[in-house]
Amino acid sequence: MMGAINAIVEECSSQPEKTRGFFIRKTVLTKCMCGDSFGFHTKDALEFAGITSVTEHQLKHYIRNAKIGCCGRLTFQGRGQISGCIHIQRKVLSKELLAKLDNAFTSTQKSSAKTNSSATPMLQTKSSTVGRLIYI
């Protein structure tokens, strides 16, 4: 089962711009006590990685029984809060895979920031009743 998890992380690291809707590389969860974790929507991640030998149920069952993570909801960029997700403690990944994951997502954030820097800058101000965004 760890092979399936590693395959999902590998595939998401190779194409991070396509995984924003179902994969989170780093989150710190406090309600479940998993702490520093990564997470994904199970069905979407299995389909994206092309894994057919493992079902969603088998993967969730393994995560719970191995006590390396939890099953529940996660909030994804552009999709909101989604149930049917798994979050797994980052410490179960090898250092090499963890570094690859962090580097892949950090580099895409930097490149998207460069492309957005030419867009209209925003100045954020606060009112006593409502927060407003003013474009300059």
Side-chain half-sphere CA neighbours of 55 within 13 A:
3
pLDDT digits (tens, 9 = 90+) for 90-115: 999 999 999 998 898 886 555 554 44
What letters, b where the CB count within 10 A reaches 16 and e where it falls short, cover 42-64? Answer: bebbbebbebeebeeeebbebbe
pLDDT digits (tens, 9 = 90+) for 8-23: 999 999 998 898 889 9
- Tell me, yes or no, if the pTM score tops 0.75: no
